[in-house]
Structure formats: C-alpha cells, structure tokens
Amino acid sequence: MCMNVCVCPRTMRLMHSGLLVVDASDQDLYDFFKEAGVVDGVRIVRDKKLSVGLGFGYVAFKSVSSVGRALTLAGKTISDRPIRVKRCTPSTQVASMAVKGKKSNTTTSSSSSSSSSKKHAKKVVVLDHRGKKPRHKAR
C-alpha cells in the first residue's frame, strides 16, 4: 500500500475531469484539486489549432489516497460550472489510444474479442470543402 510517495502505476493515481469550460486553465484545475491532496501534475486537453480547451483534462496525484478524496469533489463548480470527476482506468486509456489510431503496449486475452470489436468500429468519412464525400481518393 502507498503512504506518502507512491510507487504504484500512474494510472492508479490519475483522475479524469470533464465538463470543463473551454477557457479553463491548468492552474484552475490545480487549485480545484489541491484540497484533495498533493497534485503531481495537471493537463487540460486542448485543440491543436485553436488552443482552446476541449472540455476535459487529467489530474495526477502523488498518492492513491488522494484519489478517493478527489472523487468526493464531483459536482462542485469551476467557473460556475459543475464538473465531472472519475477515476482513470487502463481500459479507458487503451480505448482512447485505439480511437486516435495509436498502438498500445497491451495485448488482448483472446482473438475473438478483437474480431468482435472490429465489427462494431465506425468508419471515419472525410468530407471535402462542400461538406460532401469526395468523388476520388485523396493522394
């Protein structure tokens, strides 16, 4: 069990916060979660081109015990907006990596589960400047 400084995997100390306002800063999120415990790091996910927040972020704590206290902060407000707080799990991280097209370093337990997930995968359609499917393939 962890005491002050945790040597557990980072995923056990990581929290997901959602429903953030787009102009929220990392400092706002840090100040909000520091009452739960010692914050190791904060990251708000931002749009690459516009650099505005996408409405969610991640908070890493120094100890696992802070995660339980952070879960009690769900529903409290940042910038007059109640936020959602939940624990990050390795399965959600693998799923988010699959959506982005990145390979994960984990393996599935059986081949049947991977084939069933391929059946339900949505195909991404890229539209042209008119908002229609292009007639020819892009080079």
Residue pLDDT, tens place only, 17-76: 999 999 999 999 999 999 999 999 999 999 999 989 999 999 999 988 999 999 999 999
Contact 15, 88 (CB under 8 A): yes
pLDDT value at position 13? 87
Give the burial class of 49: count Cβ atoms within 10 A of its Cβ; 0-12 exposed, 13-18 middle, 19 or more buried.
exposed
Using DSSP, state whether 82 is helix, strand or coil. Answer: strand
Mean pLDDT rounded to a whole number for the chain: 75
Rounded CA gap, 111 and 38, in Å? 41
Threshold 0.85, pTM exceeds? no
Rounded CA gap, 67 and 59, in Å? 10
